[in-house]
Amino acid sequence: MTDSALRVAVIGAGFMARAHSHAWRTAPRFFDLPREPRLSVLVSRDEARGRRAAQKWGWESWSDDWQAVLERDDIDVVDVCTPGDTHAEIAIAALRAGKHVLCEKPLANDPAEAAEMVAAAEAAARGGVVSMCGYSYRRTPALASIRRLIEQGALGAIRHVRAQYLQDWLSDADAPHTWRLDRASAGSGALGDIGAHSIDTAQWLTGEQIDGVSARLRTFVNSRPRRSAEVGLGGRGDLDAERLPVDVDDAAAFIAEFSGGALGVFEATRMALGRRNANRIEINGDRGSVAFDFERMNEFEFYSEDDGADRRGFRTIHATDPAHPYAEAWWPTGHGLGYEHTFTHQIVDFVRSIDGAPATPSFADALQVQRVLAAVEQSATDEGRFTRVG
C-alpha cells in the first residue's frame, strides 16, 4: 500500500451505494492496493437520507449536489450508484472532469446513451482516466475459476449455454412500487435488472458474443401500491391505497445464438416463488461441462470427458482454496465468502486498473450487453421474431 490517497465520491444512497460503501472500506484491509481509498463524500438528493447514510457507512461528508462534487480538485473517483436513467449524465460529466468512474450496471437505459458513455470513456482514457462497469458477479471466485477452465480449453468447443436468474421478491401482487418498475428510471424490468447479469456472465465466461435472439417478455402485475416510506429492496414499508402503473417486464425468456455457434437459453424473472437469488449458469462443450448457482456461490460443478470411463460424472469443486481467484486474501480453506465479497473484489480490480491493470468490464463491454437487451426487447415486440444484435 502506498501513501497516496484515492479520494472517492459515491453518488447515491440506496441499496447499491451501501454495498459499494462496504467494499471501499473493506478492500484495502484485505488486499494490497497501490493506493489507499478514502471515503470522501456521499451524494444524495435527500438531505436526511444522505446525512444518515454518510454517517452510518463511514463517509467523511455528504452533499446534495453531484455537479459541485465533480468540480472539486480533491475527488479522484466517482462511483455511480443511481438509477439507470441518470448514469449517462453523471458518468460523462465525471469523465470529462478527469475523474475515474465506476458505474453500476446496466450501463444506461438504451444503447444510444451507452454509446455516448463509451465515447466519453475512450476520450478520457487517452488522458489516463479509467472507467469500469459494475458487473460484480464476475468477481465470484467460483465463476472466475470457471472462466480460467474455459480459457484453458477444459470444455473444448462451446455448444450450449443455459442461464437463469430467478428471484421472487415481486411475486406478491401487493408488493410496493419502486423505481425499478418504472421504465423511465430503470429502462426495463427483470430483463435489465438481473437478465443483464446473465448476459454479461455468459459472454465473459465463453469469450463469445451473443449475435441474435428470439424473445418473449411478460408483465404479470400491471399496477402496485405506492410506498410512502422508503425501505429496503422488497420491503413493504407504509403503503398508500393508490396504485401506480408498472410499465416494465416481470419476466423475460429468450434463446440466443453466440458468435462461436453455441446455442443459449436465458430466463430472468422476479416472480419465481421460493427462489431468492438463484443466479445459475451451465455451459456444455464437446469435452466437458460446468454448472454454477450463486445460491451456492462457493462451489461449482465440473464434468470432463478426459476422466476415465469408470470415473465420469459431475464433481463439486469448492472455490475456497487459495488457488482460486481472490480466495487467498480471505479465510482458511472451506470457510466461504458471501455476496458482499464480490463488490470488494470489484473495488480491488478497479483500484489496480488505475495503476495500469486491465479495467474490465469496460464501458464497451457493457455496451454490448445493452445491445443484447435492446435486441431482446425488439424481438419480444415482434412476437419473438429472430433479431440480430447491434
Among 93, 116, 137, the domain boundary falls at 137
Q: Are residues 156 and 133 both part of a single domain?
A: no
**Residues 238, 201 contacting (CB under 8 angstroms):** no
Q: Are residues 62 and 174 both part of a single domain?
A: no
Kindly tell me if the per-residue pLDDT of 194 is higher than 70.
yes
Stretch 72-85: mean pLDDT: 97
From the list 66, 18, 63, 57, the residue with the least C-alpha distance to 39 is: 57
User: In this predicted structure, what is the pLDDT of residue 279?
Assistant: 98
Kindly tell me if the per-residue pLDDT of 289 is higher than 80.
yes
Q: Are residues 152 and 96 both part of a single domain?
A: no
Q: Are residues 122 and 177 both part of a single domain?
A: no
* Tally of CA atoms within 13 A in the half-sphere of 93 that contains its CB: 15
What's the CATH number where 314 sits? 3.30.360.10
Identify whether 344 is part of a domain. no
Stretch 361-372: mean pLDDT: 98
Identify whether 263 is part of a domain. yes
Identify whether 111 is part of a domain. yes
Q: What whole-number distance in Å separates Cα of residue 209 and Cα of residue 195?
A: 15
Tell me the residue type at 230: E
User: In this predicted structure, what is the pLDDT of residue 4?
Assistant: 85
User: In this predicted structure, what is the pLDDT of residue 1?
Assistant: 46
Task: Copy the grid coordinates of residue 308.
Answer: 476415465
Considering only 18-32, 121-135, 230-244, which range has the smallest mean pLDDT? 230-244
State the pLDDT confidence band at 210, using cuts at 50, 70 and 90: very high
Identify whether 349 is part of a domain. no
Q: What is the largest CA-CA distance in the chain?
A: 67
State the pLDDT confidence band at 3, using cuts at 50, 70 and 90: low
Q: Are residues 205 and 263 both part of a single domain?
A: yes
Among 105, 137, 169, the domain boundary falls at 137
Considering only 1-10, 275-284, 320-329, 341-350, which range has the smallest mean pLDDT? 1-10
Q: What whole-number distance in Å separates Cα of residue 214 and Cα of residue 266?
A: 10
Q: Are residues 299 and 316 both part of a single domain?
A: yes
Q: Are residues 132 and 176 both part of a single domain?
A: no
User: In this predicted structure, what is the pLDDT of residue 237?
Assistant: 59
Q: Are residues 197 and 329 both part of a single domain?
A: yes
Q: What whole-number distance in Å separates Cα of residue 210 and Cα of residue 368?
A: 9
Identify whether 346 is part of a domain. no
As beta bridge partners, residue 284 has 160, 289
Kindly tell me if the per-residue pLDDT of 311 is higher than 50.
yes
Q: Are residues 88 and 177 both part of a single domain?
A: no
Q: What whole-number distance in Å separates Cα of residue 390 and Cα of residue 372?
A: 7
Q: Are residues 76 and 111 both part of a single domain?
A: yes
**Residues 8, 45 contacting (CB under 8 angstroms):** no
CA 161 to chain CA centroid, nearest Å: 19
Identify whether 347 is part of a domain. no
Task: Copy the grid coordinates of residue 279.
Answer: 443466479
Tell me the residue type at 358: P
Rounded to the nearest 5°, which phi and psi values hold at 260? Answer: -90, 0
**What tens digit of pLDDT does each residue of 337-360 get?**
999 999 999 999 999 999 999 999
Among 78, 109, 137, the domain boundary falls at 137
Q: What whole-number distance in Å separates Cα of residue 329 and Cα of residue 277?
A: 26
Stretch 127-153: mean pLDDT: 98
How many structural domains compose the chain?
Answer: 2
Q: What percent of the chain has pLDDT over 70?
A: 96
Task: Copy the grid coordinates of residue 72.
Answer: 472539486
What's the CATH number where 95 sits? 3.40.50.720
Cell 475512450 found at: 122
Range of the domain at 177: 140-337+359-381
Stretch 158-164: mean pLDDT: 98
Identify whether 389 is part of a domain. no
**Residues 288, 302 contacting (CB under 8 angstroms):** yes
Q: Are residues 162 and 255 both part of a single domain?
A: yes
Q: Are residues 174 and 132 both part of a single domain?
A: no
Identify whether 388 is part of a domain. no
**What tens digit of pLDDT does each residue of 214-259 get?**
999 999 999 999 987 554 555 555 676 799 999 999 999 999 999 9
